[in-house]
Each structure stands twice: as structure tokens, then as C-alpha cells.
Amino acid sequence: MNEKLLVQIDSCDDCKKCIDVCPTYTVSEEDLFSPLARLKSAKQIFEGKKVSEKIVESMYNCPECARCDEVCPKHIKISEIIALARVELVERGFAPLEGHKKIINGIMEKGNSVNGDPENRLDWLPDAFEERESDTLLYLGCLPSYLVKETAKSSYLLLKAAGVDFRILADEGCCGVYLYDAGAIDQAREMFAENTRRFNDLGIKKIITPCAGCYRCFKRYYPELIEEADFEVLHVVEVLHELVKTGKLRFKTGDKVLTYHDPCRLGRKEGLYDEPRELLGACGYEIDELEENRAMGMCCGAGAGIRSIYRNLSMEIASNLLDEASETVVTSCPFCVFNMNYASRKKGKDTNVKYITEVLYEMCDLP
Ligand code: SF4
Ligand code: SF4
């Protein structure tokens, strides 16, 4: 076992500060589903000790939101340790779980993680598909392509309206973040390498994506596993923010009040807090902040593969979040949009959750 990891785990003094901020513990009230218990279970896993089914579940029903990391006085990277414990579980044959295997097979066979028909990948595209060259790729991702299509369409239209030179791919495929998050690191490496080869062959230097999961994957996980992956990776919010700053994109002024939800992978993990708020502010919108926002923004409960297996837990986490929000919630991750809208419907709430570019496109001052 990695000594540094062990030192980190052993530095825990049982202060329990992490427990109160954990969304899976709050919803389930099960001790094993708390950060502290997961940390202790991770040690057991790394030491090769016997692992129960419940411990395996506790490692996989964590959305790796990193709220626990934020409050730990010992600066233990609990969520990263959980991710490494998943890799170990795969190596020891406890995972991927059956639910993971189903999604992984879909990714291999259909090139997406949401069981979409590859023939329909571009259904959202408002224009006829044009095969064009550009060193900038707008990489939409599986959710925007198939399930939250307004995300794909409005991101595409806004970039076009601002005159950005980019291309899209009719057979985009999957970034592979699901494999990485499941701990299936060898399969993830293979997929990352294949995508990297393809992008390099196409002369891609810059990737713009509306998906917080794809963003983190291309930006952090690809370079971690693949030496040749050195693309510039930008979230669409960063690009639009720059376009507004330089006067290439302008908005009409509205007067709505809405809640902005910080997606974990964009906020806490990448520090993108001001850009989306400033974009909404440029439309004249007032932001009704959630009590817990920015670095302590509440997780929507969908990430790191949990929704595909523990759907009710994901839904309950999202539902708690919506209880505090205004009628319209805007966020910068299509998976958060999908899960929060699902929770809103299932729980009979009136909250309408939108992807940020959908709102911005409505307010775009087109020439
Ligand atoms: S990453 Fe989030 S869900 Fe997982 S243990 Fe930490 S606080 Fe809980
Ligand atoms: S906050 Fe950190 S030190 Fe305190 S119990 Fe949790 S992991 Fe241990």
C-alpha cells in the first residue's frame, strides 16, 4: 500500500467534522455512508482485508462531491482516497458492479453512456451537419447529445453567434469518465488513448465542452493517464465569459430572479464560481443564492457513477437541494440539470432546472 496514502488516512483524528456535510450520510443516515467510515473502509481495502458487500456499496454510492475534503482540518483528500479505493476494488475483483458493466458495455457498443442510438446523436443540431476543419472541437458529451439536448443546441448556437471557429463530430463517442469513475482504470486508459489519437490526427488543439464531467475528464484525467493528451480544455462558460468581456457577445436585459447551483466538478473542483454568475448578471438576472454555495455548494447527487446504480439516493440528495431553491435553477452541468429535473418531477415540485446556455441564448442580442 502507498505509504503516503496510509499516512494521510492515519492522520484522521476522528473529529467527525466531515460527517455533517456529507450528502449521502444526511440522506441515508447510515454510518457506513459517511466520509469517516469510507476513509476507514478504504484503509481496509488497501490493506487487502476482507471487504463486505456493504463496504463496496459505500465506496460506490459516494458522488465524490468533495464537500468532506473542504472541511477536513487535517486536509485529508477523502474523495480522492475513495476514488483510489475503487481502483483497488476493481483490481481485487469486487467491481465493476453489474450496474457498471451494463453502462460500460453500452459505451463500448454504442459510444455513449446513456444507451442512445448513435444514429440520433445529432438530433439536436439546428443546421445540417457540415464536415469542416478546425483545431477547436466543441465536444458536447453524452448527456447533452441525447438527454439534455437544449444544452447542446444552445451552446452551439451561442458560439456560432459570437463567431467562434469550431467543429463538431458526427460520431463524437464518449470521453470515458464513467470508466475512470468506476475505477476501471485500464479500460479508461484505453479509451482515453483512442480518443487522444483521434483528436491528434484531426489536429485538435482546443476542446470546448458544456459538460462538467467531460471537462474534468479531458482536463485532469487524460493528462494523468496519457502523455500525448495536451489539449487546451475549456468549459463553455469560460469561453462565453471571455466573449462577453471582449464585446463579442451581448445580452438583452431581463429581470428574473433565479438560483445558481455550483456543480461540484466545476465549482469546488475547478474554482469556476464567478464566471457563470457574471454571465447571468450580464443578462440582468439577480441570483438568489442557496444558503450553501460556492466552495460549500451542495452536490446534486448524480456524479461519479452513483445515479446509474443508486438512483433513489441521487434523487433524494437532489430533492433536498431543490427545497431551498427558487422556482428556476440554473447550473453549468447537464448531469445536474438531468438529475435535479428528475427529482423535481418525481417529488412533485415546481422547480424548473435549466442549463446555463439555454438561459443565455434566450437573452442573446443577436445581430
Ligand atoms: S465526497 Fe461527498 S458524498 Fe462522498 S464522502 Fe465526501 S462528502 Fe460524502
Ligand atoms: S474531518 Fe478529517 S480528521 Fe475529521 S473525522 Fe473527517 S476525515 Fe477525520
List, for residues 249-262, the tens digit of each pLDDT value: 999 999 999 999 99
Residue nearest to atom 7 of ligand 1 (CA): 22
pTM (predicted TM-score): 0.97
Which has the closest alpha carbon to 61: 26, 40, 33, 39?
33
Pocket test for ligand 2, best of 16, 20, 79, 296 (most atoms within 8 A of CB): 16
Q: Which is the closest atom of ligand 1 to the Cα of 64?
A: 1
Pocket test for ligand 2, best of 8, 9, 11, 15 (most atoms within 8 A of CB): 15
Residue numbers in the chain where pLDDT is lower than 50: none
Reported as type and span, the H/E element at residue 53 is helix 53-60
Pocket of ligand 1 (CB under 6 A): 21-24, 35, 38, 62-68, 78-79
Residues in the chain: 367
Residue nearest to atom 6 of ligand 2 (CA): 18
Pocket test for ligand 2, best of 9, 11, 13, 18 (most atoms within 8 A of CB): 18
DSSP string, 159-205: HHHTT---B--TT-----HHHHHTT-HHHHHHHHHHHHHHHHHTT--
- Residue 78: strand, helix, or coil: helix
Is residue 90 a contact partner of residue 46, using CB atoms and an 8 Å limit? Answer: no
Burial class (CB in 10 A: 0-12, 13-18, 19+), 349: middle
Q: Which is the closest atom of ligand 1 to the Cα of 25?
A: 8
Pocket test for ligand 1, best of 64, 264, 265 (most atoms within 8 A of CB): 64
Residue 22 and residue 121: Cα distance in Å, rounded? 36
Residue 97 and residue 289: Cα distance in Å, rounded? 37
Å from CA of 19 to ligand 1 middle: 9
Q: Which is the closest atom of ligand 1 to the Cα of 38?
A: 5
Burial class (CB in 10 A: 0-12, 13-18, 19+), 93: exposed
Instruction: Identify the structural domains of the chain with CATH numbers, from first to last.
Output: 3-91 (1.10.1060.10), 98-241 (3.40.50), 248-363 (3.40.50)
- Residue 325: strand, helix, or coil: coil
Å from CA of 14 to ligand 2 middle: 5
User: Which residues partner with 257 through β-bridges?
Assistant: 286
Burial class (CB in 10 A: 0-12, 13-18, 19+), 202: middle
- Residue 364: strand, helix, or coil: strand
- Residue 207: strand, helix, or coil: strand
Pocket of ligand 2 (CB under 6 A): 12-18, 35-36, 39, 72, 74, 76, 78
- What pLDDT is attached to residue 1? 60
Which has the closest alpha carbon to 171: 187, 194, 188, 151?
194
Residue nearest to atom 1 of ligand 1 (CA): 64
List, edge to edge, every strand of the sheet that includes 232-235: 136-138, 206-209, 232-235
